[in-house]
Amino acid sequence: AGGLLLCSWDKPLTNDGKKKTLICIEGNIASGKTTCLDYFAKTTSIEVLTEPVAKWRNVHGHNLLGLMYQDSSRWGITLQTYVQLTMLEHHTRPMVSPIRMMERSIHSAKNIFVENLYRSGRMPEVDYLVLTEWFEWIKKNIDVSVDLIVYLQTSPEICYERLKRRCRKEEKIIPMEYLQAIHELYEEWLVKRTLFNISCPVLVIEADHDLQKMTEKYEENRDRILTPYS
Ligand code: DCP
């Protein structure tokens, strides 16, 4: 009923009073990350950072998210360069509490979204390589490490239904195949572990359920998520 821990804890289990902990919530578009973050924001005193999507929709008046969905071959690189910057800003922002929970990460931005644009032929190889060099430089020189990934595992069909229901205007044109591709990449990265190296523990939570049941699941998994660090 609970979640599944996929690998051994290879980072210190407890806070020594100095070390701060970063937990990232990952999952497909409309997988329910916001609900998860809301639950922990309301019921704990940890710091919660939601995805900077408002920024992506208004870069000095330009809606990069909208542009990307209208023409991903042209604007994919533009959005993803900016996403990488805003994620880096989140990872490096001084922490105000011993535990921070963050929506997605610089890692999924690159390993899932950039990877998907490249694999689907909508990002030229040279753009992909430049973003990769930036990403590798960042990982080598700046601490963007993560202590725990909580993966909200959904079926793409459920995400598609939720997406239609919530009606974010930029996302109206997202086809089912896009959610399927993002889902496959998440599974390869976090479950099958065939895509990129992952060095932190992953807690998988099935997230196809309704709001009530999901709240119960977060309640059930609360200690597994927070206790090792408190
Ligand atoms: N996005 C993107 N590239 C990224 C990250 C996100 O193109 N590197 C897009 C996908 C969505 C939008 O940004 O259209 C918002 O992303 P999320 O799926 O993270 O946010 P949601 O609000 O959909 O999350 P949830 O419904 O799980 O709360």
Kindly write down the DSSP assignment for every residue of 129-154, as one continuous string.
HHHHHHHHHHHHHS----SEEEEEE-
Give the per-residue pLDDT at 204: 97
Specify the 3-state DSSP secondary structure of 222. Answer: helix
Rounded distance from Cα 64 to ligand 1 centre (Å):
13
Give the per-residue pLDDT at 37: 96
Give the per-residue pLDDT at 6: 45
Mutate to test the pocket of ligand 1, among 31, 38, 51 (most ligand atoms within 8 A of CB): 51
Which residues neighbour 216 within 8 Å (Cβ) at sequence distance 6 or greater?
Answer: none
CB 182 within 8 A of CB 153: no
Rounded distance from Cα 118 to ligand 1 centre (Å):
18
Rounded distance from Cα 12 to ligand 1 centre (Å):
30
Give the per-residue pLDDT at 136: 96
Give the per-residue pLDDT at 12: 36
ipTM: 0.85
Which residues neighbour 228 within 8 Å (Cβ) at sequence distance 6 or greater?
Answer: 9, 13, 14, 148
Rounded distance from Cα 84 to ligand 1 centre (Å):
13
| Binding pocket residue ranges, ligand 1, CB within 6 Å | 27, 29-34, 51, 53, 65, 68, 79, 83, 104, 109, 113, 171
The residue whose CA is least distant from atom 5 of ligand 1 is: 109
CA neighbor of 222 nearest in space, from 14, 16, 9, 36: 36
Phi and psi at 14, nearest 5°, equal -120, 155
CA neighbor of 81 nearest in space, from 106, 50, 112: 106
Residues 151, 5: Cα–Cα separation, whole Å: 10
Q: State the Cα angle at 85 between 189 and 184, rounded to 5°.
A: 20
Give the per-residue pLDDT at 149: 97
**How many structural domains compose the chain?**
1
Q: Which atom of ligand 1 is nearest to the CA of 171?
A: 14
CA distances from 216 to 36, 40, 101, 225 (A): 11, 12, 19, 14
Give the per-residue pLDDT at 150: 97
Q: Which atom of ligand 1 is nearest to the CA of 103?
A: 19
- The domain containing residue 64 runs over which residues? 4-229
Residues 183, 155: Cα–Cα separation, whole Å: 8
Residues 28, 22: Cα–Cα separation, whole Å: 20
Give the per-residue pLDDT at 3: 54
> Averaged in consecutive runs of 10 residues, what is the pLDDT profile of the chain (230 residues)?
43 50 96 95 92 92 95 96 96 92 97 97 96 97 95 97 89 93 97 89 96 94 82
The residue whose CA is least distant from atom 17 of ligand 1 is: 29
Give the per-residue pLDDT at 187: 97
Give the per-residue pLDDT at 71: 95
Mutate to test the pocket of ligand 1, among 28, 29, 33, 122 (most ligand atoms within 8 A of CB): 29
Dihedral over Cα of 90, 161, 174, 148: its sign: positive
Q: Which atom of ligand 1 is nearest to the CA of 166?
A: 26
- Assign residue 73 the CATH number of its domain: 3.40.50.300
